[in-house]
Structure 1
Amino acid sequence: MISTEDLHFFITLASALSLADAARKLDVTPPAVTQRLRLLENRLGMRLIDRSGRRMVLTDEGELLAVHARRICDDIGNLSDTLASRRGTVAGHLRVIAPLGFGQRYVAPVIAQFRALYPEVSASLMLSDRPARISDDMWDLMVHIGELRDSSLVSRRLAPNRRILCAAPSYLARRGEPKHPEELLTHDCIALRENDEDVTMWRFTPRDQGTPANVRIEPMLTSNDGGTVRDWALAGLGIISRSEWDVAEHLHAGRLVPLLEAWTQPDADIVALINSRHGRSLRAQRFLDLLHASTLQQPWLPGDSEQSRSGKRAQGSGAAGSTARASAG
């Protein structure tokens, strides 16, 4: 006999790159995964996975089991969701994936609030610098920032988010302020590696609708953690192109200075991707509504209202720019 736990285990295993990867996803040791797989194969009397070296390949029987396991687990989940919805209950397990920094700062508190509102819901939050690589069997809702490569995914815009080129006053005092994107080639640039994007190609469009400029930077420092990249810039180590949500407070305080303000970079709007198989549940929809209400307020911007936030942002940018230019002489 196969239990639903066996099916969930094999679904995770089938979507993993290796036994070690499956162990990380299941939060167990690799030997535990190997032992459980062996027990399942012995119970069924067939080999489900061919293991050669570090790679693993599903056998024909393994492929068949994976397909039917997903279908059965989906049906059970959909049935549970339908019954819960009919009695007006928000229940079940919610799985959310979000980028590292944004997830820690803005998604995790919403999950805590959601749990307080709906105590019959359990939730897991996975933070990743490459969320798009995670199998759709692992999530109900994914928060994504930046270019969306797969347009077939159902999405909902949570909040606008500009990319801002900036640096610390101490860096500008030492190296001067670039006046044109091409001058970035002579500056120390810091790049954030995330979402498998081409992070060394910085694209600019002039506000006066002139000729765009694409600059292939040679970063002096790189990291997959946005907080590290921001902190390097705050320390005066170079120029960064970062999301407004991550640098707005530092721009307002003058710790970072906006650069090339006559140019814009592609926006990196914050969106929620909804899993077509798992994201239609009542709990997922209620969480999405709560997350949208929270992020739409753009809590990363200073001030209590949109109007005051915009005014303070402009004031802060102007003051920061004056400070930088004065420091640069």
Structure 2
Amino acid sequence: MLTSDDLAFFAVLADSKSLAESARTLNVTPPAVTQRLRALEEKVGVRLIDRSGRRLRLTEEGSLVASHSTVVNDALDSLAEALADRRGMVRGHLRVAAPHGFGRAHIAPVVEAFACEHAGVTVTLQLSDHPAALLIESYDVVVHIGGAGHLDQVVTTLAPNQRILCASQTYLDTASPISAPGDLVQHRCLAVRENDEDVTLWRFKGLRQEAATVRVNPVMSSNDGAVIREWALAGQGIIIRSEWDVAEDLARGRLRQVLPNWALPTADIVAMLGSRHGRSARTAAFLTMLRQSLKPPPWQA
């Protein structure tokens, strides 16, 4: 009869490209893996892995055992987490996703501090160009900048964040004056194409709540916000960037806000939670630490 240890062992083999890789994952020698695999195959009476090629390939019976291994291991992990949550223990594997730039600057340090404070937790941080598009149930926390995702997601706001229209003083000194949003069509505009949003349609709201919409024709664009910011610093044109990204540049005079009396739609920092993960002790503890790190927002300090 197979045990949970047998299934956990075989799950590692099924996810590995070779026995050597499995040995590294299990922190044992390759001969030890081979010996245990043989013992497992003798126990079930069938061959589970085809070892005739350079890569591990599961037999049909091996695929069946692997699929059941996943189900059983997930069930055992869920049970262990549920029992730990009952006792208020922070344990298990925390999975966090975040945007590249914001994730490196503000999420990675919190993940490190969280792992140091909670020895019973392991953490994975996935940085993505568009974290909101990831399968939310595969993560405990998905940090997103801007509007929330699907209505069935649990969303909590972590910090306020404005979008700011700005350019370098070098560009503004040589360009024609900008007194209203409509003037932007005559200027060099730079756009970030990070997701499926219509990034060439810039929307503004005035002091008296009057709306203005401008369709710009970007002279330069990139899917990397850091590249766009560098182009703006070099005097290449006008950009829309999050306050968290350009606050220091504005404070030091490297960039200057354009049309300060016209507001852009906000892009608050939010956390999206899966329905199951949102109740775990590790998720609650991580969100508490994350909120503390963003209060007050570092870019407004």
TM-score, structure 2 as length reference = 0.78
Q: CA offsets per residue over residues 17-62 of structure 1, 9 Å max, x none?
A: xxxxxxxxxxxxxxxxx955x415452479x9xxxxxxxxxxxxxx
Secondary structure class of the residue paired with 2:289: helix
Q: Are residue 262 (structure 1) and residue 261 (structure 2) matched?
A: yes
User: Do 1:132 and 1:195's aligned partners in 2 also have CA atoms closer than 8 Å?
Assistant: no
User: Do 2:166 and 2:238's aligned partners in 1 also have CA atoms closer than 8 Å?
Assistant: yes
Q: Name the structure 1 match of 2:35.
A: none
Q: In structure 1, what is the Cα distance between the partners aligned to 2:250 and 2:101?
A: 18
1:43 is aligned, of 62, 77, 81, to 62
Structure 1 residues 49-88: aligned runs within 5 Å = 74-88=74-88
CA separation of 1:229/1:153 partners in 2, compared to 1, >3 Å: closer, same or farther? same
User: Do 2:97 and 2:131's aligned partners in 1 also have CA atoms closer than 8 Å?
Assistant: yes
Secondary structure class of the residue paired with 1:264: coil
Q: Determine what percentage of the aligned residue pairs are the same residue.
A: 45
Q: CA offsets per residue over residues 168-224 of structure 1, 9 Å max, x none?
A: 0001011134211121111111111224222111111112122x1111211112122
Residue 152 of structure 1: how far off its partner (Å): 2.2
Residue 73 of structure 1: how far off its partner (Å): 5.5
Q: Name the structure 2 match of 1:156.
A: 156
CA separation of 1:225/1:142 partners in 2, compared to 1, >3 Å: closer, same or farther? same
Q: Are residue 136 (structure 1) and residue 136 (structure 2) matched?
A: yes
Q: Are residue 277 (structure 1) and residue 268 (structure 2) matched?
A: no
Q: Name the structure 2 match of 1:26.
A: none
Q: In structure 1, what is the Cα distance between the partners aligned to 2:113 and 2:221?
A: 34
Secondary structure class of the residue paired with 2:98: strand
Structure 1 residues 105-184: aligned runs within 5 Å = 105-184=105-184
Letter in 2 for 1:259: V
Q: In structure 1, what is the Cα distance between the partners aligned to 2:119 and 2:92?
A: 10
Secondary structure class of the residue paired with 1:300: helix
Q: In structure 2, what is the Cα distance between the partners aligned to 1:74 and 1:117?
A: 25
User: Do 2:171 and 2:235's aligned partners in 1 also have CA atoms closer than 8 Å?
Assistant: yes
Q: In structure 2, what is the Cα distance between the partners aligned to 1:40 and 1:198?
A: 48
TM-score, structure 1 as length reference = 0.71
Q: What stretches of structure 1 of length at least 5 have no aligned partner?
A: 13-33, 49-64, 303-329
User: Do 2:163 and 2:242's aligned partners in 1 also have CA atoms closer than 8 Å?
Assistant: yes
Q: Name the structure 2 match of 1:3.
A: 7
CA separation of 1:118/1:221 partners in 2, compared to 1, >3 Å: closer, same or farther? same
Q: Name the structure 2 match of 1:288.
A: 287
Q: In structure 2, what is the Cα distance between the partners aligned to 1:171 and 1:285?
A: 46
Larger Rg: 2
Secondary structure class of the residue paired with 1:204: strand
Q: CA offsets per residue over residues 233-289 of structure 1, 9 Å max, x none?
A: 111111001100001111111111111112111100000011113332111110011
Residue 72 of structure 1: how far off its partner (Å): 5.2
Letter in 1 for 2:82: T
CA separation of 1:45/1:284 partners in 2, compared to 1, >3 Å: closer, same or farther? closer
CA RMSD across the alignment? 2.7
User: Do 1:4 and 1:73's aligned partners in 2 also have CA atoms closer than 8 Å?
Assistant: yes
Residue 5 of structure 1: how far off its partner (Å): 7.1
Q: CA offsets per residue over residues 81-136 of structure 1, 9 Å max, x none?
A: 12222344211111100001000000000111111211211101111111122223
Q: In structure 2, what is the Cα distance between the partners aligned to 1:41 and 1:203?
A: 56
State the aligned residue count.
259
User: Do 2:148 and 2:272's aligned partners in 1 also have CA atoms closer than 8 Å?
Assistant: no
Q: Name the structure 1 match of 2:102.
A: 102
Q: In structure 2, what is the Cα distance between the partners aligned to 1:137 and 1:8?
A: 22
User: Do 1:130 and 1:196's aligned partners in 2 also have CA atoms closer than 8 Å?
Assistant: no
Q: Name the structure 1 match of 2:25.
A: none
